[in-house]
Amino acid sequence: MSEMVAVSARNLYKVFGRKPREVVKRLAAGSARDELTGLGTAAVIDASFEVKQGEIFVVMGLSGSGKSTLIRMLNGLLEPTSGTVEVMGSPISGISDAQLREVRKKNVSMVFQHFALLPHRSVRDNVAYGLEIQGMPLAERRERAERIIQRVGLDGWADKLPAQLSGGMQQRVGLARALAADTDVLLMDEAFSALDPLIRREMQEQLVELQAELGKTIIFITHDLNEAMFLGDRIAVMRDGRIVQVGTPNDILTDPANDYVAQFVQDVDRARVLTAAGVMEPARSVVSVAAGPRAALRAMRDLQTSAAFVVGPGRRLLGVVRDKDVLRLVKANETDLSTVIRNDAATVTGDVHLTDLFESAVESPLPVAVLDAENRLLGAIPRVTLLAALGNVPTTTSELDTIEPAPSVSVETITETLRVTAPNSSTEGTLV
């Protein structure tokens, strides 16, 4: 995802009614929306946000929250009562019809809830329709349409009419038509809400795959919380025309801005939203391979655990060691810890969802190690932390032990071994 801004909205208001500008003035002065219904209906109130290039930005809210009105101001279907919109640096509001058509041609396209396909045209010609309006030659637009049709999973259906397709397939045609326009920004207004649950999930997964492949900026409108959490890099929550919180799915779920957001997310499937990076603890039982067996044994004794992660230069994970193995090295006066490193640690990257951690957490006696792309150890997820995250229970309590597994060698045995094998110190094994 780029840090460049694709869409910028500043202090957007949209009021329908007799005196829209008077309503904006009073709202800005602190009046409540319900007090102004005689003058007009405020659908969007002081909305400001930025969407980065390559981001999936989801606007979520219940019916009547203003989300569909908001998205229609982002491509000029509705003129803001007040405020500004820019798409790829070009203004959307306050420009001529000819300028708006040019921005739509190059910068922004839209997929609606209802497929809006031309019934007498084939799938290929529906996908190529926008290119035809742009004046692209027939051969070129058909070649591009064929390429996009394959990408959305409709290979072999190019000559069919819309009536011969299922609802999910028709929505794929609508998506393909928007993708064929090759604009920078794709607006999707409740695009999957008319689909059956299984087909809807397939379309969500395909949208994520296409976005990763094509790098499009997507603004997606939905009233479905699980859909928002699955799709969104960031989510804007709307209520009564106002944006009440903008954040990542993890932010929305774990740190709701107010009681409304908290109630909104209380029934979400946390395992499919929270990620390993979002719930991991600092990895406490960690030793450097260069520190040697004695340091590893002391660390496991002090933490009262039977295992430790071993890291090399740059904190890259090399594996794990067990207290019994390291104890044997110390007794034999060995100095090379690498000889007992095991490669049986369960590891994941930080973006893995908790639903994909259960098997690893159950099968591994160790906490699950969280690594970055360079194999560096970022943190660990003990089973108690995983369960606490799913139940929205804090782990900041002395009753929740985040060090595991339990030691298999007694503290006394380790201390005595360190003492009798110490080369020059009678206090080597003293507990501190």
C-alpha closest to that of 196 among 167, 228, 224: 167
Residue 182 domain-assigned? no
Residue 402 domain-assigned? yes
3-state secondary structure at position 264 = helix
Number of domains in the chain: 1
Query: What distance in Å separates the CA atoms of residue 177 and residue 171, rounded to the nearest whole number?
Result: 10
Q: What is the pLDDT of residues 110-131, one digit of tens each?
A: 887 666 788 899 999 999 888 8
Residue 42 domain-assigned? no
Query: What distance in Å separates the CA atoms of residue 271 and residue 401, rounded to the nearest whole number?
Result: 21
Percent of the chain with pLDDT over 90: 42
C-alpha closest to that of 23 among 35, 12, 11: 35
Domain span at residue 309? Answer: 277-421
- Sign of dihedral through CA atoms 60, 62, 68, 73? negative
- The domain that contains 407 carries what CATH number? 3.10.580.10
Residue 154 domain-assigned? no
To the nearest 10°, report the CA torsion of 401, 252, 196, 180: -120
Q: What is the pLDDT of residues 269-287, one digit of tens each?
A: 788 788 888 889 898 899 9
For each successive 10 residues of the chain (432 residues), what is the average pLDDT?
87 94 93 90 96 95 91 93 93 87 85 78 89 85 89 88 87 87 88 81 86 90 89 94 93 89 83 85 92 93 91 94 94 93 91 84 82 93 80 52 69 89 59 40
Residue that is written with structure tokens 């139940």 in the block: 391
Tell me how many degrees the CA angle 383-384-387 measures, rounded to the nearest 5.
Answer: 85
pTM tops 0.85, yes or no: no
To the nearest 10°, report the CA torsion of 246, 28, 85, 96: 160
Tell me how many degrees the CA angle 206-207-211 measures, rounded to the nearest 5.
Answer: 115
Residue 376 domain-assigned? yes
The one-character DSSP state at 281 is B
Residue 360 domain-assigned? yes
Residue 331 domain-assigned? yes
Residue 38 domain-assigned? no
